[in-house]
Structure 1
Amino acid sequence: MTVQTLRTPIESLRQWATTTPDRIYMTQPHADGSVVDYAWAQVWDESRRVAAHLVSLNLPRGSSIALYGRNSAHWIMADLAIWMAGHVSVPLYPTLSADAAKYILDHSEAKLLFIGKLDGKADSWSEVRPALPPGLPLIRLPMSPEIDGPTWSELLARHEPIATPVERDPNALATIIYTSGTTGRPKGVMHSMRSISAPCLVTAELWGTCSEDRMLSYLPLAHIAERVALEVPSLIFGFHIFFNYSLETFPEDLKRARPTRFFSVPRLWTRFYLGVHQKIPAEQQEAMFSDPQKGAAAKKGILASLGLDAATIGFTGAAPLPAHIIAWYRKLGLELIEVFGMTENAATSHACRPGDVKPGYVGTPLPGVECRLSEQGEVLVKSPGQMMGYYKMPGQMEAEMTPDGFFRTGDRGEMDETGRLRITGRVKELFKTSKGKYIAPVRIENKLALHPLIEVVCATGPGEPQPFALIMLPFDRHQQVRSAPQARDQLEQQFVALLDEVNHGLEDHERLDYLVIVKDQWTIESGMLTPTMKLRRNVIEDRYLSRAGAWRDAGRRVIWEE
Structure 2
Amino acid sequence: MTEVFKSPVELLDDWARVQGEKTYLRQPIDRQLNDYSWTQVHQMAHRLAGALYKLGFEKGDKIAILSKNCAEWFMVDFALMVGGFISVPIYPTANADTIKYVLQHSEAKAIFIGKLDDPASQESGIGGEVSRLSMGHDHMPCQYHWQQLLELAEPFESQYPADDDIMTIIYTSGSTGNPKGAVMTYGAFSWAAHRIAQHLGGTPQDRVISYLPLAHITERAYIFGSSIVGGGTVYFVESLDTFVEDVQVANPNFFLSVPRLWTLFQKNIIAKVGESKLNLLLSVPVVGSLVARKIRKQLGLNSARILGCGSAPVSPALLHWYGRIGMKITEAWGMTENAAYATLNFPFRQDKIGTVGAPGTDVELKIGENNELLFRSPGLFKEYYKRPEATAEALTEDGFFRTGDQGAIDDDGYLCITGRVKDNFKTAKGKFVAPVPIERRLAQNNNIELVCVIGSGQPYPVALVQLAEGAHGLPKAEVEASLAKTCAEVSASMESHATLGGVLITDEPWTVDNDVLTPTLKIKRHVLEAKYSEKIGGMRGDQVVWEQQLN
* Alignment TM-score, normalising by the size of structure 1: 0.94
**Partner of residue 328, structure 1:** 321
**Partner of residue 257, structure 1:** 250
**1:524-535 to 2 correspondences below 5 Å:** 524-535=512-523
The answer to whether residue 518 in structure 2 is matched with residue 559 in structure 1 is no
Give the superposition deviation at 1:99.
Answer: 1.5
Number of residue equivalences: 547
Q: Secondary structure, in 3 states, of the residue corresponding to 1:38?
A: strand
The answer to whether residue 149 in structure 2 is matched with residue 155 in structure 1 is yes
Residues 433 and 463 in structure 1, CA contact (< 8 A), matched pair in contact too: yes
Residues 10 and 160 in structure 2, CA contact (< 8 A), matched pair in contact too: no
What is the alpha-carbon root mean square deviation over aligned residues?
1.8
The answer to whether residue 86 in structure 2 is matched with residue 98 in structure 1 is no
The answer to whether residue 501 in structure 2 is matched with residue 502 in structure 1 is no
Q: How far, CA to CA, are the matches of 1:335 and 1:489 in structure 2? A: 35
**Partner of residue 351, structure 1:** 344
One of 219, 236, 239 as aligned partner of 2:232: 239
**1:306-317 to 2 correspondences below 5 Å:** 306-317=299-310
**1:177-196 to 2 correspondences below 5 Å:** 177-196=170-189
Amino acid at match of 1:90: V
Deviations 1:99-123 (A, max 9, x none): 2211110111101110111131xxx
The answer to whether residue 529 in structure 2 is matched with residue 541 in structure 1 is yes
Amino acid at match of 1:110: A
Amino acid at match of 2:514: S
One of 270, 274, 279 as aligned partner of 1:277: 270
Deviations 1:533-560 (A, max 9, x none): 11101111122222224x638x881111
Residues 337 and 352 in structure 1, CA contact (< 8 A), matched pair in contact too: yes
Residues 377 and 412 in structure 1, CA contact (< 8 A), matched pair in contact too: yes
Alpha-carbon distance change, 436 to 146 in structure 1, aligned in 2, over 3 angstroms: closer
Give the superposition deviation at 1:19.
Answer: 2.1
Comparing 413-422 with 219-228, greater Cα deviation is found at 413-422
One of 68, 73, 76 as aligned partner of 1:75: 73
Q: How far, CA to CA, are the matches of 2:38 and 2:312 in structure 1? A: 35
The answer to whether residue 18 in structure 2 is matched with residue 19 in structure 1 is yes
Amino acid at match of 2:500: L
Q: Secondary structure, in 3 states, of the residue corresponding to 1:443?
A: helix
* Alignment TM-score, normalising by the size of structure 2: 0.96
Q: How far, CA to CA, are the matches of 2:418 and 2:348 in structure 1? A: 23
Amino acid at match of 2:503: L
**Partner of residue 403, structure 1:** 397
Residues 348 and 384 in structure 1, CA contact (< 8 A), matched pair in contact too: no
Amino acid at match of 1:522: W
Q: Secondary structure, in 3 states, of the residue corresponding to 2:53?
A: helix
Q: Secondary structure, in 3 states, of the residue corresponding to 1:248?
A: helix
Give the superposition deviation at 1:291.
Answer: 3.8
**1:337-376 to 2 correspondences below 5 Å:** 337-357=330-350, 358-376=352-370
In percent, how many aligned pairs have the same letter? Answer: 39
**Partner of residue 222, structure 2:** 229
Residues 335 and 354 in structure 1, CA contact (< 8 A), matched pair in contact too: no
Deviations 1:426-468 (A, max 9, x none): 1111111112121111111011001122111000111211111
Amino acid at match of 1:139: L
**1:42-53 to 2 correspondences below 5 Å:** 42-53=40-51
**Partner of residue 34, structure 2:** 36
Q: How far, CA to CA, are the matches of 2:281 and 2:333 in structure 1? A: 34
Residues 488 and 542 in structure 2, CA contact (< 8 A), matched pair in contact too: no
The answer to whether residue 509 in structure 2 is matched with residue 513 in structure 1 is no
The answer to whether residue 95 in structure 2 is matched with residue 118 in structure 1 is no
Give the superposition deviation at 1:423.
Answer: 0.6
Deviations 1:271-314 (A, max 9, x none): 11122122234443343234433322211111111111110111
Q: How far, CA to CA, are the matches of 1:146 and 1:315 in structure 2? A: 34
Q: Return 5+ residue gaps in structure 1 as ranges.
A: 482-486
Give the superposition deviation at 1:477.
Answer: 2.9
Amino acid at match of 1:213: D
* Moved >6 Å (runs of 4+): none
Q: How far, CA to CA, are the matches of 1:332 and 1:197 in structure 2? A: 36
Residues 194 and 225 in structure 2, CA contact (< 8 A), matched pair in contact too: no
Amino acid at match of 1:220: P
**Partner of residue 473, structure 1:** 467
**Partner of residue 64, structure 1:** 62
Residues 453 and 473 in structure 1, CA contact (< 8 A), matched pair in contact too: yes
Give the superposition deviation at 1:226.
Answer: 0.5
Alpha-carbon distance change, 556 to 169 in structure 1, aligned in 2, over 3 angstroms: closer
Q: How far, CA to CA, are the matches of 1:8 and 1:300 in structure 2? A: 39
Comparing 494-503 with 53-62, greater Cα deviation is found at 53-62
Q: Secondary structure, in 3 states, of the residue corresponding to 2:346?
A: coil
Comparing 216-225 with 204-213, greater Cα deviation is found at 204-213
